Structure 1
Amino acid sequence: MPTSRDRSEPKLSVELRNWLNAIAATGFTFALLLLCVALIVVVSQTKDIILQLNDDIWVEQDGGAVLLSVVSLFSFSVMCWWSARFIFQMIEMQHRGHFDSRVVHQPNRFINEHTALWLPRVYAVLPGTILLLSGLLRQQFGAAVLGLVVALLSFWVVKSRTHWSNAALLSRLKLNNIWVLSGIVLLLTLILTFFSVFHLAGTSQFLGAFSTLFFGLSSLLFGMTAGVYLVTWKFWKIPLIGGLLKPPVPIFTLAVIGAAVMSSLFSTDNHGVRRCLADMAAAQSLQCPQPPAFAFSSLESASKTFELQLRLRWENLPGNHIPVFFVASEGGGLRAAYWSSQVMAELEKLYPGFHQHVFAMAGVSGGSVGNMFYAAALQQAELKDLQQWQKQLGDAVGQDYLSAVTTSFLYNDLLFRFLPIQVDPFQQDRAQVLEQSWERGFANTFAVTEERLGLSGHFQQLYRQSLASDPDGWLPMVLSLGTAQELGQTVITAPFPVQRNDFPAAYDFYQLAQCRQQNHLSCDIRLSTAALNAARFPYVTPAGSLNYDLATGLTKVAPDKKLHVIDGGYVDNFGAATTQQLIHSLKKAGFFAEKPQQKTLVPVVLLLTNAPDLDNSIFDLSRLEPSSVNSWLLNELVSPIQGILEVSQGSAANVANLVYYQQQSPEASILLTDQPAGVQSALVNTMLFRLPKKDASVPLGWWLSANSRDRMRCELTATTETRKSITKLIALFPDAKPVAMASGCEKG
């Protein structure tokens, strides 16, 4: 019934207030719809997924993928309608003491019947409509058609059900009853949840990235809405508490409080870093095949092994200097992994044996993942057909690694916050799932054997096997750079004991993980885990617990004693500082000193950056002012946030210091200079490989469309600045064949 205030207000004002009250009551649904809009319109990762979906419709004509995409987006649309209707009927039941399970009347005096009827319908058509408009604006007409189909289908279903009540069959089935519909949705959600938890790999692979995301959001919306309202329902009539829990209730806030209460009563931290142990198999661990040990007893030992094999290769080659390469791979998800691995593979293809001139590869986030795939592929294959090997490496790195981690995030990892049941695979976290997806992706491409396990093998064992199989060979040392959350400093995972006098601003992962006593190890980790130590992207992958109970895999220590490893990009997103410290430590030890009757070793840095929008001024020490600045709006409010974010990237200062450090090389030891486009001062003994601004749409994340992969491959093989840099680098080798400039793109 309208109040006296309603009668005195303009009709438009009353209607607007009703709609705002209704949106506030369904705030969680509205928030997920806003997230849906952001995913379709703003987020580069999902925009790339939609680009592939558009190709599936028009180019690949993949009917199965298209059908799953329609069903998943339709399920999310209908779930938005259901959640709003369910909330309104719960409000009505609390307000009136009863409700009609088939029809929503006026829920309360703040929300009228018309609004309660039409807002859920608007919610239902929004996801498809947003995809339709986005597809039209980007000229992705396949995606636009899909959005139109979903929008029309959703509206027809939720609108026509008011007429279905006249049909005798549907009336007998009670499909207009909200509780019957809720029961059906619950059953479907439980089935999807079962397969997503206990058959995660197969389910995520079958559904694909787009469908995984929207089926997951549908389950999240249903589970949170129904769970919170049904739990709080029991408290409505309790004095004091009941008044706080009467509908509408803040779903997200109460869910967070519930998770916090559960974590205080039970151990819900299942984010222990996986490891293998010398004497036991634990929840997140496996038995080591042999007693763990560092591949090299020290940095000095590694450098001597490297120098010996390198001088043998250059014994009969002309010249007085030998280049020693140090790779710094910038972070950036799968974009960084694909770019860094393909740059290194291209160099290997053009100069077979190039990897034996690379002393170490420091990587952060996706750069570390690419380095690890590259090192494992070098050890796994015989490198006879380098063209085919490069393609295999690209196929291994460029797979869908988003679906599995998204499935784990929205199902078992989220459920474990509320139901900490210590049963595998339910208690596995999404970090472990991501590692295992890398292992499967590598194994699906390369021949994995009991001796060569690919990314599921053990990190130190990789280098011991390499030395055992080819004593005169060399496998580049991968330095995986994470961040110690509680210490704010770099954590290095390396095949030798990390000492503070060599790396004063870093800690040894094995030391923090309680695996190292002096220079001896009691446990090791997989290659996939070593890569993830640097690639724990915020929220997508959780912080890894370093000190946890090995018997259960859960962290039970007091909060002030916990120690975690997080993404390396918080401190140095380039690995430039660690690369400089490494070169400096070797220089102090005389590694690059001139020696009688011997060629002099010269450090050459390869900077692999995948950020097309990176400011060139960080490489240009002659520039007095930055080439561009981008201050955020509302500076009074957001200036501290922007400052923290920009500083935490760690790129500019560390890269500039490394560039300057290399410029101090003795004049006689300058093997090459490079002057990237837009940079006034030349880089000395430093080579930059970067994606150009035209590739700015290649997304961050753990999924790449075929179009994005082809664009990066094209940058390496066509007549580009990157190709010119590759040509200049290969020319350092006296026995190298001339590099031909390709006339077109070579696609992977």
Structure 2
Amino acid sequence: MRIERVRAGSRPADVPLRQKPRGALSRFWGRILDFSLVLWVVRVPLLSVLLGLAMMAGVTQAQDVTLDVAMAGAPVGATAGVSRAILSLVGAVFLLWAMPVHYAARLLVETDNGLAAKVARRDSAAGRRGIAGHDWLMAAMVREVPRLIGVLPFFIFAIGANAAISNLPTLADRPAVDAAHHQLVLLVWAMLAGVPLFYLYCVLRGRLTQVQALAALDRALGRWLKPVFGLLGIAPRRDDAEGQLHASGRLALLVYALLVVAVLVASPHWLAARLPLAYAVPLIFGGWVPILAYLSSVGRRFHVPILTGLFIAGAIGVYVFGDNHAVRTVTADEPAYRRTSLVQAVHLWMQANGCAGQPSSCPRPIIVAAAGGASRAGFFTASVIGHFLDYDQQKPAFSFTRADGSKVSRVARDDGRFTPAIQSALDGKEIATRLFAISGVSGGSYGAAVVAAALSARTGKAPPCPAEAPAHWFGGAIHGWRDCLESMTADDFLTTTFFGLAFHDQVQLFLRDRAALLEEAWEASFARHAGAAGAPAGPGAARRLSEPFLSAPRDPEHWVPYLVLNGTSVETGQRIITTDLLPTYAAASRCPSGGPNAECPIFTHAIDFHSLVRSDLDVRLSTAATNSARFPVISPPGSIYQVDTDVVDRIVDGGYFENFGAESALELAQAMVDVEPALAPFVLVISNDPQSVLTEERTARGVVVPDAAEHSFLPEVAGPFGAIGAVRGGRGRLAVAHAAAWLDARFGGRCPVNLVQIKVWPEDSAGRCPVGTATPEKIRQVSMSWWLSKPVQMNLHEQLEPTADRCNNRTAVEQVWSALATRSEACTGPTP
């Protein structure tokens, strides 16, 4: 540094002044600024690994995907050792995440002029201090930061696998948990072993290019691709022509970026089949890094915020031209006339149960309320309903063998949960005909749709599944309805959805959005099951989820329950209900919902979905379920078009309004009784949130006693969001209480139990039942996403098994069996 002006008489103008030595604090702060500059230059690859860290460290659903890899290659309860699946995941992290973020970071530090100028100034300052060569600390930052970013993905997966260990549920089949624990530990160590291997690769990478043959190849690539590199702005700097990121590295990064563009237009379903679950994570977090890093580099070169500009331009483009989140519709043959009036639906149900004209002799109509919770809710809804559909299998005693070889025996009549009198009443009856309707929310709606589709596809009483169990389900073979329905809802729907979120919905254009991809994954999975070799269902039945919702004819000889699928209106905050029932009926007395008797709404202050679209349009059964299952991030709000360019409303998850489906179930029961007073509906609530059970335990005189944490981080932000999240469950519990109160007031004089709730019970960190004891500070979370690990499936399956503690559904199961065997006249007659 030269000073041009000096005081008169002090020294010649060309003699440099010695700078005043800086203090230690000033030097330290300067180094902090140097490090911050390096991090800012590599912010895109750094953000990639930070987002991955946040997800794997804090999201149960992300942690559980490591279980799929850990348990691959061996039956449930057996250890596979360091399997091919584990090694393949290490390789995927190496190639699809670690290498791209490392190469992108190297490219950024090598081509950034601002950072190069800073390095030159530091080197010059080191020379003036008499230190030969470079400023070692600045050189270390530039060299080591990309390497450290490159090894972080291995640490991130190790953290996720370690967290998955603590998430493992307590199972009666203990060897299954022990084997999963063992395999997860191996996965942790395999990922940690990848750290020094990748670091060694980074160190040796430059030396490998000095091998004569490789060096010649690299120089040739540099000559051939020089115009391309120059045009894209990724050529070496003129003052550093050799660089550290050789032509081969630049070419690898360019090829990876082009492959990501190909992913945008390729089939996510094809890709998901080849990179499922944990294997998809490296691509999701590493895929965009080369393109975004390149745009970040160009932006710094020209001092233009390109990434911010693209985000703003994208938001404006969506505002002006619309998004790709339209609710999928199909042209159908007069769909409005294919819905069933409530009066006709009740009479068809009575015909199915052999009591037409004698309603008092009819069994109690069962209305199921299936709570929300993604695949957890779908699986549990299917599992619970399947348990009762398997009545004939529940009659005899049976035994089964656990993974450790121990034999477990169950006594007759569902382990004694129904009596000989109940058996006498149910023998020769088809349990499916007892189900009048299912009111679903979110994942519960998906479970309801699968149940309805499977019942539609059945041949006689046989479930539409082959005997051989699919690989993604924990069971060994399919023996009945419960096994069939569980296997149908246990598939991987998460990978395709996340590819849609990570790629398709970031460049919308003509591409299908992630909601449509989720629906297609449901349709394909059901078709694989119901259309598999050995499955009783025919080819047409296997397509039920992809057919128009209102296309299936109503046949009392082949009974299928009605569906009431609850979404939420963005415009009004009311329910948007997608149902195969006509939304109004002629009330026999005063309209229960308060409307006019001639056109009495079944559901109060609710919007009928089909009234929002053209009269010639319907939706697929899968789309009807998605109308209820659009929870944040995973699925976008669905735009409902009344005409081609007129968005009349947007629909989001039904859980925003009420997460249990109990309010719609109650209103349907009230309308049903108004149509036929001799019937006595029974409501079965299937909930699946363990935390909600603990909340109910704190209820006194109908009021939940709050117990807030003493400390809250950012309460101004956490408070409103926490309230929004809590309201969905709070309104659900309120709806259940209202339903129980109305049913008891109507039928309680003769039938003491009119509503039953089957739950997923909580367990504390030690695996104990916390109900009836001091509420633990933390309970184990049951993963909720569009995929379930096998231990989680087993945990949900075991919720209906008898246990010695208070956390069991024994009483609830007994009461459901009793309701299935009870005639309506037992509840509607005069009080004895």
Farther off after superposition, 610-619 or 473-482: 610-619
Q: Secondary structure at the match of 1:323?
A: coil
Alignment of 1:222-261 (within 5 A): 222-230=290-298, 232=299, 236=302, 242=303, 245=304, 251=307, 253-261=308-316
Q: Secondary structure at the match of 1:125?
A: helix
The whole-number CA distance in structure 2 between the counterparts of 1:639 and 1:296 is 43
| Equivalent residue for 1:457, pick from 532, 539, 547 | 547
Distance 1:179-1:538 versus aligned 2 partners, 3 A rule: farther
Alignment of 1:189-588 (within 5 A): 189-191=257-259, 193-194=261-262, 197-230=265-298, 232=299, 236=302, 242=303, 245=304, 251=307, 253-263=308-318, 267=321, 269-277=323-331, 288=332, 290-310=333-353, 312=355, 322-350=363-391, 353-385=430-462, 387-416=479-508, 420=509, 422=510, 427-447=511-531, 448-450=538-540, 453-462=543-552, 464=553, 466-467=554-555, 471-499=556-584, 501-512=601-612, 514-516=613-615, 522-547=616-641, 556-557=645-646, 563-587=649-673
Aligned to 2:740: 659
Distance 1:547-1:296 versus aligned 2 partners, 3 A rule: closer
Identity of aligned residues (%): 22
Q: What is the Cα deviation at residue 333 of structure 1?
A: 0.6
Aligned to 1:70: 90
The whole-number CA distance in structure 2 between the counterparts of 1:314 and 1:149 is 73
CA-to-aligned-CA distance 1:87-138 (integer Å, 9 cap, x gap): 3234326865999xxxxx99x99x9332222111111111212333554573
Distance 1:24-1:549 versus aligned 2 partners, 3 A rule: farther
The whole-number CA distance in structure 1 between the counterparts of 2:84 and 2:264 is 19
Which consecutive residues of structure 1, in runs of 5 or more, have no partner in the other structure?
100-104, 237-241, 278-287, 517-521, 551-555, 594-599, 673-684, 737-748
Q: What is the Cα deviation at residue 23 of structure 1?
A: 2.8
Amino acid at match of 1:80: V
CA-to-aligned-CA distance 1:232-270 (integer Å, 9 cap, x gap): 368x2xxxxx4xx2xxx584x3442231244356x3511
Q: What is the Cα deviation at residue 633 of structure 1?
A: 3.5
Aligned to 1:726: 813
The whole-number CA distance in structure 1 between the counterparts of 2:290 and 2:263 is 17
CA-to-aligned-CA distance 1:422-460 (integer Å, 9 cap, x gap): 4xxxx2111111111101100111135236522112211
Check conservation: 2:268, 2:499, Cα contact below 8 A: yes
Which consecutive residues of structure 2, in runs of 5 or more, have no partner in the other structure?
2-17, 121-125, 128-133, 166-180, 222-243, 393-428, 464-478, 532-537, 585-599, 768-779, 824-832
Q: What is the Cα deviation at residue 177 of structure 1?
A: 3.3
Distance 1:729-1:260 versus aligned 2 partners, 3 A rule: closer
The whole-number CA distance in structure 2 between the counterparts of 1:535 and 1:413 is 18
Aligned to 1:646: 726
Farther off after superposition, 5-14 or 428-437: 5-14
| Equivalent residue for 1:691, pick from 748, 753, 760 | 760
Q: Secondary structure at the match of 1:583?
A: helix
Amino acid at match of 1:626: V
Distance 1:5-1:494 versus aligned 2 partners, 3 A rule: farther
The whole-number CA distance in structure 2 between the counterparts of 1:330 and 1:4 is 72
Q: Secondary structure at the match of 1:272?
A: coil
Aligned to 1:623: 701
Q: What is the Cα deviation at residue 324 of structure 1?
A: 1.7
Aligned to 2:173: none
The whole-number CA distance in structure 2 between the counterparts of 1:193 and 1:183 is 15
Q: Secondary structure at the match of 2:784?
A: coil
Aligned residue pair count: 654
Q: Computing the radius of gyration over CA atoms, which structure comes out larger, 1 or 2?
A: 2
Q: What is the Cα deviation at residue 398 of structure 1?
A: 0.4
The whole-number CA distance in structure 2 between the counterparts of 1:366 and 1:670 is 31
The whole-number CA distance in structure 2 between the counterparts of 1:537 and 1:368 is 12
Distance 1:88-1:64 versus aligned 2 partners, 3 A rule: same
Distance 1:639-1:626 versus aligned 2 partners, 3 A rule: same
Check conservation: 1:228, 1:254, Cα contact below 8 A: no
Check conservation: 1:274, 1:432, Cα contact below 8 A: yes
Amino acid at match of 1:344: I
Check conservation: 1:275, 1:523, Cα contact below 8 A: yes
Amino acid at match of 1:605: V
Distance 1:662-1:25 versus aligned 2 partners, 3 A rule: farther
Distance 1:262-1:94 versus aligned 2 partners, 3 A rule: farther
Q: What is the Cα deviation at residue 511 of structure 1?
A: 1.1
Q: What is the Cα deviation at residue 194 of structure 1?
A: 2.4
Amino acid at match of 1:87: L
Check conservation: 1:616, 1:627, Cα contact below 8 A: no
2:250 is equivalent to residue 164 of structure 1? no
| Equivalent residue for 1:704, pick from 788, 800, 803 | 788
Q: What is the Cα deviation at residue 47 of structure 1?
A: 1.4
Q: Secondary structure at the match of 2:576?
A: strand
Amino acid at match of 2:481: W
The whole-number CA distance in structure 1 between the counterparts of 2:357 and 2:63 is 49
Farther off after superposition, 129-138 or 691-700: 129-138
Check conservation: 1:350, 1:730, Cα contact below 8 A: no
Aligned to 2:685: 607
Aligned to 1:284: none
Amino acid at match of 2:92: S
The whole-number CA distance in structure 2 between the counterparts of 1:724 and 1:537 is 32
TM value normalised by structure 2: 0.72
Q: Secondary structure at the match of 1:614?
A: helix
Check conservation: 1:576, 1:655, Cα contact below 8 A: yes
The whole-number CA distance in structure 1 between the counterparts of 2:447 and 2:734 is 24
| Equivalent residue for 1:26, pick from 36, 42, 51 | 42
Check conservation: 1:213, 1:406, Cα contact below 8 A: no
